[in-house]
Structure formats: structure tokens, C-alpha cells
């Protein structure tokens, strides 16, 4: 795997493709390659695109990529599907829709689906973004299908997050977007030529006023109150970036330039204010996840498999509750040390 590093840095697209496949399949040697690439990352601008099904995210990503290409910028596209472990209905659709980008060497499109393990996809997505970054793409567009926690985890690796909405998707879908609204840096109402667009925009404005942290912060400032630092946020909010609401018809390019300008405005805002905190927060989350995985792996290698099977039996028979079982397992690991103390 390490032999891919040099060609990838030199712009070889096949090396990039091979590394991305290795990342998705968690092949051995990937870690070493990513470690070697790491010092070449941190140059691209990562744009997350998420939103409920039916909003036309893929068409929007397509249109954004074309617009960036028209400005001479190179674009990596990562289409992530956290919902489908085994087929690629949506992914296939994306590919078809992105057909008019193919043949252009300044664009590289990659789809990625789950391999079933929890958290594995957001980790793979993060590593894939780094591969694009080291390969020198000016922009990386990360599109997620759906609107749940997994999507939020994935776009957390982005610098600027677009939340896409569309008119006429029904109440149930409207409700879904409440959660992802919090992570929006730019709100895009796509399919804006449809009836009901004014309702959608009015709804978004109301939700923004009620729900967005920056909006709450601004309201508080407006009322002359002191704002408590929000350490749990990703750094977007403390500096009062209120997401603009933009209209697009992605399929014919309407409104795309405005989205590009909003992304750049958000970028300039972040570079001026919270980029370091944003990156720090992202690194902290990543180290936490990697630490978890490493600690569990090491622990399990120290405990006999029989003990684990035995403790599962005891939980199943209701002889011990799950947290009690974990405490017993932890005590097993400490046993040698305490024996020494007793000697």
C-alpha cells in the first residue's frame, strides 16, 4: 500500500483509486499509507452536502462540480451511503446523474457504502477525504444520502456544510430536517421552480430563528446578554455565522453561482475566525474514536475468549446485569496487579 503514496502525490489517479478501495475495504497497510500522506493534507476545502431524500442532492453536487471546473478548480466527489450495506440503488443513480462529468481529469468521483460495522463508514469517509486532499484536489464534495446521525457524523469532517431542502416533500420529511439544520452553514432550497417554494423558505426561516445556535446567540447579543462560550459546538457558532438560505434549480444550473459565493464567504469567515477550533474539534473526535478502538482491541487480546463467552452466558441467564458484567471483565484485567499488591 505504501508504494501508492508517491504516485498519488504525483497526481496518478489510479493510485488514488486503489487507495480509496483499500480504505473502503479496511485492507492492511492502509494505516501506513495514510500516515505517510498525512503531512500533505490540510490544503483542500471540504464541502459536505446533506439533506432529506428527494431534495436533489446529487444534482446539486453535480452542478457545483461543473461550476468549480468552469473556474479551473479540481474537484473530488465522495458519495457516501450509510443506509445501504449491500446494494447501490442511490449510488448507481448518482453515477448516472454524474455522467456528464466523466472524461474530465479534474474531477474524480467515488461512491462508498457501509461494510456493516458501526462507525466504520465515517472513519472511511474521513480517510478518503484525506486521500483526495493529499492528491491535490482544490475542493472535496462529500455527499451523504439520507438524514440521520450517520450523515451528521460524516459531514462533521467538512469545513462548510450545505443542507439541501426542496418544496413539497411532506410533513414527515420536514420534521426530519430539524436535526440537520443545526449543522448547516448554507441552506439550499433546490427544485426552487416547484410550487410551495415560498412555504419551504418561510419554514426554514422560522426554524432558523427558533433553532439555530447562531441565531439564538445573535438574539441573546441583541438583547445585551453575555453569551456563554459553547464548547460543545464545532466552532461555527460562537462567531455568529447565520446560514444564508439560497434557491437553486440544480438541473439547469440556476442559483449555483450564489451557492459558490456563499461557500467562499463561509470559508473566509472561518479562516478569519474559527478554523483552528473547527479542526481541533474534528481531531479530538477522531482521536477519541481511534483510542476507543485501540483500547478495546488491546483489552480483548488480554482477556481469554472463554471468559467473555462465560460472562455473556451469565448476562443471558440474568445472573448479572450488563454493566455489572463489564465491571467483572475490567476486574479480570486488573487481577494480576492486585495480586502483586497483596504479595
According to the binding rule CB under 8 A, does residue 321 interact with its own copies?
Answer: yes
Print the binding letters for residues 154-173 with its own copies: x by CB under 8 A, - otherwise: ---------------xxxxx
Among 60, 207, 217, 259, which residue interacts with its own copies (rule: CB under 8 A)?
207
**Residue 146 binding its own copies, by CB under 8 A:** yes
Residue 55 to residue 165: CA distance in whole angstroms: 5
Q: Which stretch binds its own copies (CB under 8 A): 7-15, 84-92, 221-229, 237-245?
A: 84-92
Residue 75 sits in the site that holds its own copies (CB under 8 A): no
Query: Binding of its own copies at residue 295 (CB under 8 A)?
Result: yes
Is residue 124 a contact partner of residue 23, using CB atoms and an 8 Å limit? yes
Distances (CA, A) of 131 to 111, 160, 286, 324: 14, 18, 16, 42
Closer residue to its own copies, CB minimum distance, 265 or 325: 325
Least distance (Å) from its own copies to the CB of residue 257?
25
> Which of 10, 21, 25, 35 touches its own copies (CB under 8 A)?
35
Stretch that binds its own copies, among 102-110, 220-228, 246-254, 288-296 (CB under 8 A): 288-296
Other CB atoms closer than 10 Å to residue 113's CB: what's the count?
21
Assess contact for 276 and 310: CB atoms under 8 A: no
Q: What is the DSSP letter of 187?
A: E
| Widest Cα–Cα separation across the chain | 80
Q: Does 90 bind its own copies (CB under 8 A)?
A: yes
Q: Between residue 2 and residue 21, which ones bind its own copies under the rule CB under 8 A? A: none
Which residues 6+ apart lie within 8 Å of 268 measured at CB?
Answer: none
Strands 107-113 and 75-81: parallel
> Which span (6-14, 47-55, 71-79, 255-263) binds its own copies, by CB under 8 A?
47-55
The residue (of 88 and 106) whose beta carbon lies closer to its own copies is: 88
For residue 249, the 8-state DSSP code is B
Amino acid at each position: 500500500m505504501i508504494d501508492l503514496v508517491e504516485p498519488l502525490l504525483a497526481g496518478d489517479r489510479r493510485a488514488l483509486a486503489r487507495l480509496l478501495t483499500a480504505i473502503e475495504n479496511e485492507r492492511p497497510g492502509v494505516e501506513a499509507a495514510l500516515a505517510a500522506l498525512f503531512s500533505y493534507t490540510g490544503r483542500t476545502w471540504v464541502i459536505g452536502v446533506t439533506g432529506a431524500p428527494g431534495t436533489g442532492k446529487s444534482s446539486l453536487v453535480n452542478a457545483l462540480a461543473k461550476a468549480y471546473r468552469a473556474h479551473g478548480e479540481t474537484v473530488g466527489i465522495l458519495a457516501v451511503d450509510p443506509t445501504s450495506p449491500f446494494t447501490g440503488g442511490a449510488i448507481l443513480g448518482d453515477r448516472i446523474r454524474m455522467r456528464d462529468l466523466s472524461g474530465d481529469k479534474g474531477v474524480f468521483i467515488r461512491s462508498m457504502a457501509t461494510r456493516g460495522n458501526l462507525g466504520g463508514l465515517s472513519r472511511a469517509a474521513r480517510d478518503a477525504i484525506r486521500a483526495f486532499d493529499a492528491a491535490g484536489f482544490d475542493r472535496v464534495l462529500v455527499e451523504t444520502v439520507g438524514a440521520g446521525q450517520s450523515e451528521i457524523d460524516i459531514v462533521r469532517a467538512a469545513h462548510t456544510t450545505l443542507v439541501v431542502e426542496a418544496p413539497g416533500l411532506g410533513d414527515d420529511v420536514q420534521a426530519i430536517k430539524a436535526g440537520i439544520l443545526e449543522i448547516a452553514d448554507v441552506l439550499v432550497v433546490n427544485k426552487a421552480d416547484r410550487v410551495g417554494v415560498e412555504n419551504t423558505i418561510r419554514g426554514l426561516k422560522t426554524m432558523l430563528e427558533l433553532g439555530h445556535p447562531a441565531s439564538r446567540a445573535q438574539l441573546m447579543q441583541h438583547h445585551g446578554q453575555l453569551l456563554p462560550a459553547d464548547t460543545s459546538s464545532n466552532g461555527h457558532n460562537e462567531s455568529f455565522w447565520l446560514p444564508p438560505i439560497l434557491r437553486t434549480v440544480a438541473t439547469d444550473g440556476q442559483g449555483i453561482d450564489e451557492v459558490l459565493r456563499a461557500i467562499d464567504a463561509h470559508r473566509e469567515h472561518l479562516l478569519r475566525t474559527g478554523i483552528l477550533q473547527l479542526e481541533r474539534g474534528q481531531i479530538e473526535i477522531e482521536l477519541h474514536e481511534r483510542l476507543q478502538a485501540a483500547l478495546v482491541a488491546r483489552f480483548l487480546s488480554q482477556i481469554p475468549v472463554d471468559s467473555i463467552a462465560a460472562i455473556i452466558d451469565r448476562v443471558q441467564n440474568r445472573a448479572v446485569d450488563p454493566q455489572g458484567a463489564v465491571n467483572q471483565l475490567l476486574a479480570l484485567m486488573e487481577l494480576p496487579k492486585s495480586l502483586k499488591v497483596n504479595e
